[in-house]
Every structure is written in C-alpha cells, then in structure tokens.
Structure 1
Amino acid sequence: MSAHYGDAVRHGLTVVGTGGLLCTVIGRDEVTHTTPAPDAYLHAAGVMDVEPARCLAHEDADEGITAATRAGMPVIAIRDRPWQWSCQTGRPGEDHTSRITESASGGKRFGET
C-alpha cells in the first residue's frame, strides 16, 4: 500500500530489483479516499483475502499510521519521532509510539526481551 500512484511504485520496485518480491501493490489511484482514510489498507486486505487484524502495516508517515490504525491493523512505525494523529481525532501531540509498537510486538516494545 502506498500513498503514491501504483504504476510509479511498481516501476520504482522494478528499478531497484525488488519488483518480484511483492504480490500486491495498492496505489492511491485504486481507492476513493487516500490516507489518513483507511480505504487503501482495507482494499489491500480485501485483495489478499486477509482480515485487517491479521495484517501488519509498516509506515513512516503520520497519515499512513493513522490510516492503518483506523483499518484495524497493527502498525510498525518506521520513524525517528513519535506518531501524532494527522486529523482532528485523538489528542494532537500525544505520543502513541508505545501503543503501536506494543500492538505489533505482542505487548513488548521493540528491543525489550
């Protein structure tokens, strides 16, 4: 799932030699509402015939993290700063990193044993 157009994503993956690693690429041109709406994540789960809760989203953008969370997917946040809601839901500025990483790692923050 990408906030970019599907053709651009597929081309980029091919250029770097990873085009054959993904069976499904969903771009912004395949959904009505883009991030932070959950449409693209829900569409990707539907295409793969997998319940959203059984997927794992990897995100680096506030809007994408919000979208995946709204879709009911656990999220690995690939970031150098805490996640903040990108819309007017939740509390702006609240650090949700702990909740996201705990959800994705079975209750432990990454790096904990």
Structure 2
Amino acid sequence: MDIPAGTEALIFDCDGTLVDTLPLYLKAWQAALQEVAGIDADADWFRGRGGYSEQMLLSAVEKSFGVTVDRKAVIAETRRRVRETLTDVRCNVPVITIVREWAGRLPLAVASSGSREVVEASLAAIGLSDVFSAVVTIEDVEHPKPAPDIYLLAARKLDVSAGRCVVFEDSDEGLKAARAAGMTTMDVRPCSSFHVSA
C-alpha cells in the first residue's frame, strides 16, 4: 500500500491491529475476574474498552462493580490464560500484508499497551518475532495510551522523528496517543478502509 510521502518508520499497535487477540482477552479477563474476585462481567461490559491498559480496565472494574480487587492476581491470571490460548490467535491479514511489504524497506516497531510477555508471545505465534526493530510495551512507560509516551519511545528507539512515523491502530485511545505524539495515523478497524489522518 502507499504511505504518506516523507514517512521514515511504521509503528504498529499489537492487540486488535496485528493480531486478533481481543476475543482471547475477553474470555481471559472474564475468567480471571470470576476466579480471583468473584466478579461476573459480561461481554457487553467490555464493549468499548478494547484499547484500555490493564490498570485502566481494572480501575473501570472497581468503579463499575464497587469493589477493590487484587490487581496483581487478576493481571497474572489474565496473562496466563491469554498465553495458553495464543495457539488459536489469528493475524489481521491486511495489516500483516503491510508489515511484510515494508519489512526491510523502513524500520518497523510495535507499540502496545499490552504486557511484554503477551506481546512477544503473540508475535511469535504469527511468525513475526524478527521483523520489528523495536517492541515497546506498557512496562516501558509511565503513562499508557492515550498518553503519547509509548509512541514517542518507539520513535526514539527507531531513531526517527515522531513526525515522520505512521501509526497503525485499532482503538480510540491508541489513535489519540499517536496523534498526541505528532504522528500520522491509520485506523485499521473494520469498515474504516484505513482512514488516514495527520
């Protein structure tokens, strides 16, 4: 595909952008919340929260259900369940096609609000572990998306100015983060036809 003139690097979100892990996360979060905290959160409750970091999601859980949960235990159980099901993960074919088209031609990075253990396992599951020059995850920054930190750090690791990066994202939080970093964005959500905005 064509990318904007002057682009020097491509940065990809992981969950929902490179890989369709959101169904896996939904089941994992539901099971972990039930097992650790006795909370029954149906699929409707999770709708619209796909781009949340783990801590943001747990803050929403505590507010919605009026409880305080053992965050470390819920996160650990959720990650464990996601890792166990990654053999079933599907890649987002249109986005993976772009990755393969530009690999070796431009530096590529992943910038994800997910944990490093799950992001790296996801990339391995779809055979893309060696394609990206940098992988930035939630553990690497103080502020998650929609703050620009993750994308700014990815640009620094690629040694490319933020304004020369194009970001592929599937969430409102991620798109806000990339725009706040001064990057061009491509929305990869269904029916978006890769809407480009600077």
TM-score after normalising by structure 2 = 0.41
In 2, distance between residues paired with 1:81 and 1:62?
15
Partner of 1:4: 114
SS of match in other structure, 1:50: coil
In 2, distance between residues paired with 1:60 and 1:16?
18
Trace 1:9-88 onto structure 2 (pairs within 5 A): 9-80=119-190
Q: After superposition, what is the alpha-carbon deviation per residue over 1:72-94, rounded to whole angstroms, capped at 9, x for unaligned?
A: 00001112367xxxxxxxxxxxx
* C-alpha spacing 1:31/1:101, structure 2 compared with 1 (3 Å): same
- Higher helix content, 1 or 2: 2
Question: How far does residue 7 in structure 1 lie from its aligned partner after superposition?
Answer: 2.3
- Higher strand content, 1 or 2: 2
TM-score after normalising by structure 1 = 0.71
Q: Which ranges of 4 or more aligned residues in structure 1 deviate by more than 2 Å? A: none
Tell me if 1:101 matches 2:196: yes
SS of match in other structure, 1:66: helix
The aligned length equals 87
SS of match in other structure, 1:65: helix
Amino acid at match of 1:101: V
* C-alpha spacing 1:16/1:77, structure 2 compared with 1 (3 Å): same
In 1, distance between residues paired with 2:120 and 2:148?
21
In 2, distance between residues paired with 1:38 and 1:80?
24
In 1, distance between residues paired with 2:137 and 2:145?
11
Question: How far does residue 69 in structure 1 lie from its aligned partner after superposition?
Answer: 0.2
Give the stretch that moved more between structures: 36-45 or 9-18: 9-18
In structure 1, runs of 5+ residues without a counterpart are: 83-99, 104-113
Quick one: percent identity of the two aligned structures?
Answer: 35
In structure 2, runs of 5+ residues without a counterpart are: 1-110
In 1, distance between residues paired with 2:197 and 2:169?
15
